[in-house]
Amino acid sequence: MKNSILLVFLFLIMACNERPSNSTIETAQQSEKAGIAFDDRATTRKASSKVELDKGSKIIKTGNLTFEVSDLSQSKVEVDTLINRYGSYYENEQYNAYGNRISYFLTIRIPSEDFDQVLMELEEGVGRLTSKNINTRDVSEEYVDLTIRLKNNLAYLEQYRDILRKANSVQEILEVKEKIRGIEEEIESRKGRLEYLDNQVEYSTLTIEMSELIRHDVSSRPAFGIRVANAFRGGVDLFLRAIVLLVNLWPFLVLFGVLFFFRKKIAILLRRK
């Protein structure tokens, strides 16, 4: 009898351990808010401590240059040659012509290790530099923080998946799945941000504006003979337009002709009346 009671008691203990209760889920959520994985806190802290970067190891460089050039087409060819030589590419290319000025607006992505060299060659060879602005931003701290949070998210995700495999009630399954969905969204967001930072660090961004002033020569006006010929052609064109207009008015011209031809008879009829 005692053995039977003992077996039943052991069975109940095992069932309670296998079934994830609401208190288990709540404990997991509280541990997550504290910034640690709920089943292996020491391991998570140890893994997080290994994610270290020296200050200045993740630098984003951006710059803006403005040039006045004497030959815009030739300057554009020089820039094309330069970016091809250093494995760079155009992110955006825009051409504008307004008034007596033509311009190129170029956004260039340059490998970070070649950024300073490309700047130096541009300043020496493109044209007259009128403005320059270079910025650097250290994102090492943000990168480390995102990496740690991503590792913790992955640990939380694995723990909640373990709970989901042991869940029995529909309510528990739905609650855990909703939590898993939220964690997966955070993981994708942090992965995307890390990829963006990696790209910005690997390739610096440089914006260039090149402008050429077009000077109009007074001597470029047409000669007197050409101006007379143009005026003659204009007169002929006006005469032909008048003929076309008269052809369009032919019904009215016929009516006036008939009235003029029979004007005397029309006048006698009007007097009799």
Mean pLDDT, consecutive 10-residue segments, the chain of 273 residues? 44 44 51 45 46 74 94 93 93 90 95 94 90 93 93 94 88 91 94 94 95 69 65 74 76 78 75 71
Q: Report the pLDDT value the prediction gives residue 236, as an integer from 0 to 100.
A: 73
Residue 112 belongs to some domain of the structure: yes
9: in domain:
yes
Q: What pLDDT, on the 0 to 100 scale, is given for residue 18?
A: 44
Structural domains of the chain, count: 1
Q: What's the pLDDT tens digit per position in 181-190?
A: 999 999 999 9
- Report yes or no on 240 lying in a domain: no
Is 266 within a domain? no
- Expressed as residue numbers, the domain containing 134 is 1-214
d(CA 200, CA 273): 100
Question: Which pLDDT score is estimated for 35?
Answer: 44
pLDDT of residue 45: 47
CA distances from 122 to 61, 66, 79, 203 (A): 16, 11, 8, 17
Q: Does the residue 230 lie in any domain?
A: no
Q: What is the pLDDT of residue 12?
A: 42
Residue 27 within any structural domain of the chain: yes
Helix ranges restricted to H, the chain? 2-18, 22-33, 41-49, 72-85, 115-125, 140-166, 170-202, 224-248, 250-261, 263-272
Q: Specify if 258 maps to a domain.
A: no
Q: What number of other Cβ atoms are within 10 A of residue 37's Cβ?
A: 25
pTM above 0.85, yes or no: no
What pLDDT was estimated at residue 54?
A: 64
Measured torsion, CA atoms of residues 152, 153, 157, 160, in degrees rounded to the nearest 10: 70
